[in-house]
């Protein structure tokens, strides 16, 4: 069995602030990137215990240079993808040779009453595909699904874990913390979170046979609400995007990968939006 892992950071046990997952922070980030690395290591160990032969780990947060590579289990059949930008962002390296995908360190979508809730970018107020509101997990699960790959493990805060397990009932969910607010959590300790993730990953390997790829029905319609009018001004400049409101754009495609790449490009160009001085 070959396993692909998309590893975000905000859903790591204990994290309750942007500073803890901002690579520019000299004090808290170095500690919390170690917590993230340990959780990823625990998922790798659990996958192996459950029969994984080869693993691809994609560092999927911010600069995508968070994982401390020498603290991951040493093995020739483990590959780690680092750095950004990457054409497929949080899902770089996934292909149809993979048997299952794991999502670790994931967080609630923009607008949810949960810690560090967002969807790719703070410029995005909400995302929907075919009218269904989407988290990063849903958007990424549908990409995996378009390659025939099911998601069998989700770890992170309870809000996203509950949502994903509702959408993908074959997946194992490991909630490592509960939100008190945007910047406060009630969390497991890192060690307890790692133990739960290791056990969850092992169990997830046993779910692969019953798991199903998650897909939306074609044709695909992406609707984006942006945080500001200026963000929609920039996204509208890209071919294929249609302005449908002051803070809203739409993109349509018959191919889901093309839709996800358009969304990724939209988040990047929106980040460039600054009022001209």
| CB-nearest residue to Zn ion | 61
Minimum Å gap between C-beta 157 and Zn ion is 12
We find the least distance from the C-beta atom of residue 277 to Zn ion, in angstroms, to be 30
Q: Please, which residue, 41 or 105, has the CB nearer to Zn ion?
A: 105
DSSP-assigned beta bridge partners for residue 178: 186
Query: 52 vs 95, 99, 201, 208, CA distance in Å?
Result: 16, 9, 10, 11
CB of 46 vs Zn ion, minimal distance in Å: 22
For residue 62, the minimal CB distance to Zn ion (Å) is 6
Burial of residue 224, with CB atoms counted within 10 A of its CB: 0-12 exposed, 13-18 middle, 19 or more buried:
buried
Contacts to Zn ion by CB under 5 A: 8-10, 61
Nearer to Zn ion, 9 or 56 (CB): 9
* Residue among 61 and 202 whose Cβ is closer to Zn ion: 61
Cβ proximity to Zn ion: between 117 and 153 the closer is 117
- Residue 129: Cβ-neighbour burial (10 angstroms; 0-12, 13-18, 19+): buried
Give the nearest distance from C-beta 9 to Zn ion in angstroms.
5
* Cβ proximity to Zn ion, 17 vs 253, nearer residue: 17
């Amino acid at each position: 069995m070959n396993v692909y892992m998309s590893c975000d950071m905000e859903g790591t046990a204990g994290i309750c602030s942007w500073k803890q997952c901002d690579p520019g922070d000299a004090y808290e980030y170095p500690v919390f990137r170690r917590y993230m690395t340990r959780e990823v290591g625990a998922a790798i160990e659990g996958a192996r215990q459950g029969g994984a032969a080869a693993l691809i780990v994609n560092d999927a947060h911010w600069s995508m240079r968070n994982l401390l590579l020498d603290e991951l289990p040493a093995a020739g059949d483990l590959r780690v993808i680092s750095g950004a930008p990457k054409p497929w962002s949080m899902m770089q390296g996934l292909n149809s040779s993979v048997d299952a995908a794991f999502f670790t360190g994931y967080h609630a979508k923009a607008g949810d009453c949960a810690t560090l809730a967002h969807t790719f970018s703070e410029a995005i107020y909400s995302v929907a595909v075919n009218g269904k509101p989407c988290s990063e997990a849903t958007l990424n699960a549908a990409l995996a699904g378009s390659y025939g790959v099911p998601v069998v493990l989700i770890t992170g805060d309870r809000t996203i874990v509950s949502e994903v397990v509702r959408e993908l009932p074959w997946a194992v969910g490991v909630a490592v913390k509960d939100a008190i607010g945007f910047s406060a959590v009630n969390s497991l300790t890192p060690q307890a979170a790692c133990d739960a993730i290791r056990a969850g990953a092992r169990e997830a390997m046993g779910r692969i046979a019953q798991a199903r790829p998650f897909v939306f029905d074609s044709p695909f319609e992406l609707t984006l609400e942006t945080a500001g009018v200026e963000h929609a001004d920039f996204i509208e400049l890209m071919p294929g995007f249609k302005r449908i409101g002051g803070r809203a754009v739409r993109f349509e495609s018959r191919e889901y990968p093309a839709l996800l790449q358009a969304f990724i490009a939209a988040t990047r160009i929106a980040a460039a939006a600054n009022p001209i001085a």
